[in-house]
Amino acid sequence: MYATPRLVAYRDEITLPDGRPGHYDWVRVPDLVRVVALVDGQLLMIEQYHYLTGPMWQLPGGNVDPDDQDSGAAARRELAEETGYRGGRWTPRGAVHPMPGLTPARVHLWSAEGLTPGESALESGEADLKVRHVSLDEAVRAVHDGRIGCASSAALVLAVATTATG
């Protein structure tokens, strides 16, 4: 086992599907949230550089911290910190396992509308974060052309687009 404040890496002894013994390496990390926030008919999209992947668009979100009462509290906190928007009507949109072969962590998906603007409270690692207001059509194009590289953001954008047109 290897542990840091953000993750724990494990190597388990397992029985493989063919009955032979083997190893399985996996990582425990906090669950995450992503929020599709609708403001004046536009989605709030975050543009940010990530050390491992480079610049990309994604929906606002972040970790579900141990002191969060639930994923909804984390979603509200992350949206307010990154964009300044608060309040409104919130709808849970399920959860996805973005990397089921590596971690049991889930990304809880939320939508919000009727929000009130306010001041953001960015962390030092978010100093380059830019908030974009984009149409749903533009967000769908961004999924298809790779500007939205975050899998859970892409899934939520496409789910909202399907609901809007279906």
Summarize pLDDT for 63-102 with one digit per residue, the tens: 998 887 899 999 999 999 999 999 999 999 999 999 999 9
Is pTM beyond 0.85? Reply is yes
Domains identified in the chain and CATH numbers: 1-29 (no CATH), 31-165 (3.90.79.10)
Summarize pLDDT for 94-129 with one digit per residue, the tens: 999 999 999 999 999 999 999 999 999 888 888 899
**Nearest alpha carbon to residue 48 among 137, 164, 130, 156:** 130
**Which pLDDT does position 161 carry in this prediction?**
94
Q: What residue has token string 């999924």?
A: 143
Sequence letter at residue 10? Y
In terms of DSSP H, where are the helices of the chain?
A: 71-83, 136-145, 151-165
CB atoms within 10 A of CB 62: 19
Angle 139-141-146 (CA atoms, 0-180°, nearest 5)? Answer: 95
CA distance 96 to 31: 10
- Angle at which helix 136-145 crosses helix 151-165, to 10 degrees, equals 140
**Which pLDDT does position 163 carry in this prediction?**
85
Q: What residue has token string 């709808």?
A: 91
Grouping H, G, I as helix, E, B as strand and the rest as coil, residue 105 is coil
